[in-house]
């Protein structure tokens, strides 16, 4: 349903609210004043066991097609930014940084080069870890509007640059949830909004560690980097990153059911091997093993692949 005119209108109102942010329509939290916005234009990755609200988002084998929207095809690649929210352990942060540093140039991310824009330009197999910052907020539950406020605050304050060729990931530590359905309806999401006058792409991914970890983790005890919650986040991060570069404004690449490339291969992993750190893995990025969902390859021979 997000592909309808209603979703497009919601995206427009989301952008206008972020740009104008009149006092009458703002909501104030203990962290940020942010615009009150709808969530209809946010693409949320459903749980491996689909809940009622996502029953229609089942992945399909139908081909993915192009709908003329923008694609992130800069020759220099895409910049990834991390915004840490909550009490993060340094070791957990290191795993996530290593993923961001290793994903670009990999055979896995190279799948996205099968996606082009209207000019025929391809997504580049390049991702740069371009910056990070810590949000000082102390909330344990964030609304979608507050998550947008975290991104806006990082840009407006100058802690991160305003980058229309970037993807800003709001990463919440264990014990911090998102009130619109983290761990009950989705494991992560991506969207875009007009912030400080520019089209900014951003994503939410949370650490599922806790009683509901199995909702968003393929492995809940042993995992490649000895941290099941963060290892689970890596697969969701990959899902949201590959969807953002190929469908940044939610009007480019998707199939007739509205599924983007990450959706079509969600919770499928292909051939795995025993990782030295524990559990199973299916790829090595840099010096680390990861278990990351497959991605959908566009073009003449479509399907889920690891490279």
For 146-192, what is each residue's pLDDT tens digit? 999 999 999 999 999 999 999 999 999 999 999 999 999 999 999 99
Contact 266, 293 (CB under 8 A): yes
CA–CA gap between residue 214 and residue 220 (Å, rounded) = 6
Q: Mean of the pLDDT values across residues 66-88? A: 98
Q: Which residues contact 86 (CB under 8 A, 6 or more apart)?
A: 172, 173, 174, 175, 176
With tokens 């371009």, the residue in question is 130
- Residue 80 scores a pLDDT above 90: yes
Q: Please, what is the average pLDDT of the chain?
A: 85
b/e burial code for range 273-302 (CB count within 10 A of at least 16 → b):
eebeebbbbbbebeebbbbbbbbbbbeeeb
pTM: 0.85
CA distances from 21 to 3, 39, 151, 193, 203 (A): 25, 16, 15, 12, 21
Lowest mean pLDDT among 50-59, 216-225, 285-294: 50-59
Coil vs helix vs strand at 168: strand
Handedness of CA 115, 117, 118, 120 (dihedral sign): negative
What is the pLDDT confidence band of residue 43, given thresholds at 50, 70 and 90?
Answer: confident
Confidence of residue 45 (pLDDT cuts 50, 70, 90): low
pLDDT of residue 44: 67
Helix pair 228-246, 90-103: axis angle to 10 deg? 30
For CA atoms 15, 18, 19, 23, the dihedral sign is positive
pLDDT for 42 equals 78
């Amino acid at each position: 349903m997000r592909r309808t005119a209603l979703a497009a209108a919601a995206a427009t109102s989301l952008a206008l609210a972020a740009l104008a942010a009149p006092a009458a329509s703002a909501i104030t939290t203990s962290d940020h004043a942010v615009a009150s916005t709808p969530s209809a234009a946010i693409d949320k990755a459903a749980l491996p066991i689909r809940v009622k609200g996502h029953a229609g988002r089942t992945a399909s084998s139908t081909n993915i097609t192009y709908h003329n929207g923008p694609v992130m095809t800069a020759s220099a690649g895409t910049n990834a930014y991390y915004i840490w929210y909550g009490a993060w352990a340094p070791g957990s942060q290191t795993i996530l940084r290593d993923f961001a540093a290793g994903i670009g140039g990999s055979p896995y991310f190279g799948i996205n080069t099968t996606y082009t824009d209207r000019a025929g330009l391809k997504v580049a197999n390049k991702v740069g870890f371009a910056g990070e910052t810590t949000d000082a907020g102390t909330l344990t539950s964030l609304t979608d509007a507050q998550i947008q406020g975290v991104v806006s605050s990082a840009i407006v304050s100058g802690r991160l640059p305003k980058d229309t060729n970037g993807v800003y990931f709001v990463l919440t530590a264990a014990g911090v949830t998102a009130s619109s359905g983290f761990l009950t309806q989705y494991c992560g999401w991506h969207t875009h909004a007009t912030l400080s006058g520019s089209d900014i792409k951003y994503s939410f991914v949370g650490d599922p560690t806790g009683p509901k970890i199995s909702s968003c983790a393929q492995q809940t005890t042993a995992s490649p980097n000895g941290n099941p919650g963060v290892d689970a986040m890596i697969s969701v991060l990959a899902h949201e990153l590959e969807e953002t570069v190929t469908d940044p404004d939610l009007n480019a690449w998707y199939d007739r059911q509205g599924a983007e490339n990450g959706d079509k291969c969600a919770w499928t992993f292909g051939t795995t091997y025993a990782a030295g750190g524990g559990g199973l893995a299916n790829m090595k990025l840099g010096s680390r093993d990861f278990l990351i969902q497959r991605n959908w390859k566009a073009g003449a021979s479509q399907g889920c692949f690891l490279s």
